[in-house]
Amino acid sequence: MALSNAERQRRHRERQKQKLASITPDIGVQYENIGADLRQKLYTLIEEENASRQRAVTGRPVEFTDFRRVILDIALNENQSNIADAARMVLLKALSMGESSEKEIVEAQRLKAARLSSRPENRVAREQVTPLPHYLRVPNFG
């Protein structure tokens, strides 16, 4: 009994998937490695900032930066830790996976800021997301 062309192609794709699965490591392991690498880069950044603060001490107590503070700064789009911008760049470069350079990322951020600053406020108000009309109906309880 001869196999149809579609069946041959399906079997071939299955064999290719099995070969690929045996060659590449588990995706979970890959994410753990990437996460550990990012964490290490951020810890290094924080340690360098803390070391520079320690060197620059002039008699007042040194305020060390905490990893949680940097993550919170990134989440809230603040820069109280003074290194959140550098940490954001580390994360953005990791997310772009080498497809975008630091120069391209900075240029995109600049263009975004320019677009936001050039918008008139009334236009921004019109573009606000509103619920769809069918969610605004009052239910009829009979």
pLDDT in tens, 7-25: 888 888 888 888 877 776 6
The residue among 128 and 31 whose pLDDT is bigger is: 31
The residue among 91 and 120 whose pLDDT is bigger is: 91
Question: Has residue 81 been placed in a domain?
Answer: yes
Question: Has residue 87 been placed in a domain?
Answer: yes
Q: In the chain, how many domains are there? A: 1
What pLDDT is recorded for position 133? 56
Question: Has residue 7 been placed in a domain?
Answer: no
Q: What is the C-alpha separation between 44 and 36, in angstroms, rounded?
A: 12
Domain that holds residue 98: 28-55+63-119
Question: Has residue 115 been placed in a domain?
Answer: yes
Q: What is the C-alpha separation between 89 and 95, in angstroms, rounded?
A: 10
Question: Which burial class, exposed, middle or buried, applies to 46 when counting CB atoms under 10 A from its CB (0-12, 13-18, 19+)?
Answer: buried
- Ranges assigned E (strand) in the chain: none
Question: Has residue 85 been placed in a domain?
Answer: yes
Question: Has residue 105 been placed in a domain?
Answer: yes
Which tens digit of pLDDT belongs to each residue from 38-64? 888 888 888 888 888 887 776 677 778
What pLDDT is recorded for position 138? 53
When mean pLDDT is compared across 5-9, 22-26, 34-38, 67-71, the lowest value belongs to 22-26
Element (H, E) at 4: none
Question: Has residue 43 been placed in a domain?
Answer: yes
Question: Has residue 9 been placed in a domain?
Answer: no
The residue among 136 and 12 whose pLDDT is bigger is: 12
The residue among 123 and 9 whose pLDDT is bigger is: 9
Which tens digit of pLDDT belongs to each residue from 81-113? 888 888 888 888 877 766 777 888 888 888 888
Question: Which burial class, exposed, middle or buried, applies to 84 when counting CB atoms under 10 A from its CB (0-12, 13-18, 19+)?
Answer: buried
